[in-house]
Amino acid sequence: MTGKFDHTILIVDDEKQVGKSLGRLMKSIKARYVYMESGQAALDYMKTADRPFSLILSDQRMPQMEGSVFLEKAKEISPDTIRFLITGYADVDAVTDAVNKGSIHRYIGKPWDNKVLADTVRAGLEQYEMIMENHKLFALAKEQNTKLYTLNKELKKSAAVHQKAIIQKDRQIEELNARLERGFENRDYINEIEALLKKKNMIAKEKMDSLYVAIIAELYEQFQDIATRNGFEMPKTIPGD
């Protein structure tokens, strides 16, 4: 039992002296307690309590409502509360039935040993702490899972937006390349160069013809090199010779 839990134990017994005796024992293990004289009073109190009890100690032999019946109803109100039934050996059938229904976690035989009962209650409180910790871990895991799910959706949405932008850029690049290729195909660079040189009076026609021959020879050598690397043979005679 750890100090971070503020435990309160519900004691239900129609005999006040027994209830007080159990209350003193709870104080000895530093646990608060609430005492009720009947199962119905205890159920009514549980329905309006600010928080659930950590553990219930209930006597079996009580008028109007037996302890096993009370604990079965208490389970519906507070399913996580640890439930102990105090009973004599004559009530074995009631105990067996309560165990089978899951109404009780343990039964305490009369007469009990105070030290053994105190240790048993401590163990019950530790069990309650484990249940509460598991609930917290489950809630935390659920919260983290929700956050991860939301983040994953946002990342997918962001990735989709970026992918769309990339596709658009790729299309723009393809269009620019196509426009450049069309531009190169439609332009006659030889005539453009010739016209520019003539306009500027930079070269005579005879020299222009020699320049054509040199350019064709250079292109032939380049094409021949490309053809050789790719397993083809170029004609031996250069066009124009």
State yes or no: pLDDT of 237 exceeds 60. no
- Tell me the C-alpha distance between 121 and 105, whole Å: 11
Given a contact cutoff of 8 angstroms between Cβ atoms, the answer to whether 83 and 101 are in contact is no
SS3 at position 78 = coil
The tokens for 182 are 């069309």
Q: Report pLDDT for 13.
A: 95
Predicted confidence band of residue 159 (pLDDT cuts 50, 70, 90):
confident
Contact present, 85 and 109 (Cβ < 8 Å): no
Q: Is the pLDDT of residue 88 over 90?
A: no
| pLDDT beyond 90 at 16 | yes
Q: Which residue has the tokens 């163990």?
A: 123
Q: Which two tokens stand for residue 2?
A: 């750890």
Return d(Cα 229, Cα 217) in angstroms, integer.
19
Q: What's the pLDDT score for residue 79? A: 94
167-176 own/partner pairs: CB under 8 Å, 24+ apart: none
CATH class of 8-134: alpha beta
Higher pLDDT, 221 or 48: 48
Mean pLDDT, residues 166-194 = 67
pLDDT, tens digit, for every residue of 223-234? 666 666 666 565
Sequence-distant (6+) residues with CB within 8 A of 205 are none
Domain boundaries, the chain: 8-134, 198-241
